[in-house]
Amino acid sequence: MCRMHGALGPLTRRFYRRDPESLARALLGRLLVRRCGKEDLVGRIVEVEAYLGEPDRAAHSYGGRHTDRNHAMYLDGGHAYVYFTYGMHHCLNVVSDRVGVPTACLIRAIEPLEGLDVMRVHRSTKIAADRLRDTDLGSGPAKVAQALGVDLQQNGWDLVGNDQLFVAGTRSTPDRRIVTAPRVGVGYAGAWAGRRLRFCVAGNRHVSVRPPDR
């Protein structure tokens, strides 16, 4: 870790074993770290969505669905759930709560802090490197995964005690700087579509599509 971000103790299992709304808030402002070879890629988490499991119509585990694809949601809090979608994109979730409670937090955006050159290379399969602005590196869930070199290989990884992929423990964002909004792309989810389970750092430039007003 770059010393500029301080000596960062690893987050414990206890940190992740809570409900996904609480975890989503606690993740905002913390550092997502991906060690690629000798290079550290680091981003500050600025947007997260909570998926509440069995009752949540927008969750992959809605109705208790348990398949090969979403198996990682059933792991203990602090594991990675990575899924592949639209035939080309990967998205990274942090599993919340306990074993058998299939809830998770989708990392929707990061503010890139370290290793921007490598992130740019990772992302340049889509956009020419010289056209990529820093806000194109992590302003969306599939961008985050691509910039950090995360795909199905990381599905099910334990983020606790792992130096290749983990969340580092700086202070989280105070509630007064967090804005909530309905989740993105879940219009099919009936009453669940309207619930404010999207959490963003207020005014941050790296928040993904349609930044919330308040």
User: How far is the C-alpha of 197 from the C-alpha of 199, rounded, in Å?
Assistant: 6
CB of 59 to DNA, least distance (A): 5
| Paired residues of 199 in beta bridges | 48, 180
- Per-position x/- string for 189-208, each x denoting binding to DNA as judged by CB under 7 A, each - no binding: -------------------x
Pick the stretch among 26-34, 35-43, 63-71, 171-179 that binds DNA (CB under 7 A).
Answer: 63-71
* Smallest separation (angstroms) from DNA to the CB of 81: 7
Residue 66 beta carbon to DNA: minimum distance, rounded to whole angstroms: 9
β-strand partners of 114: 42
Ranges within 89-148 binding DNA (CB under 7 A) = 89, 91, 93, 104, 106, 123, 126-127, 136, 140-144
Q: Which candidate, 20, 17, 37, places its Cα nearest to that of 93? A: 20
Residue type, 24: A
Secondary element (H or E) of residue 120: helix 116-123
Asked whether position 67 contacts DNA by CB under 7 A, the answer is: yes
Rounded-to-integer distance, Cα 166 and Cα 193, Å: 30
Tell the smallest beta-carbon distance from residue 11 to DNA (Å): 20
Query: Token pair for residue 56?
Result: 């949540």
Nearest to 109 by CA among 40, 167, 194, 49: 49
Is 37 a residue that touches DNA (CB under 7 A)? no
Q: Which of 12, 22, 85, 153 binds DNA (CB under 7 A)?
A: 85
Of the two residues 44 and 143, which places its CB atom closer to DNA in the complex? 143
The residue behind tokens 């990772």 is: 122
Measured between alpha carbons, how far is 90 from 95 in angstroms, rounded to an integer?
16
We find the least distance from the C-beta atom of residue 60 to DNA, in angstroms, to be 4
Q: Would you say 96 or 173 has its CB closer to DNA?
A: 96
Cα distance between residue 124 and residue 185, in whole Å: 25
Site residues (CB under 7 A) for DNA? Answer: 49, 51, 58-61, 65, 67-70, 73, 81, 84-89, 91, 93, 104, 106, 123, 126-127, 136, 140-144, 183-186, 188, 208-209
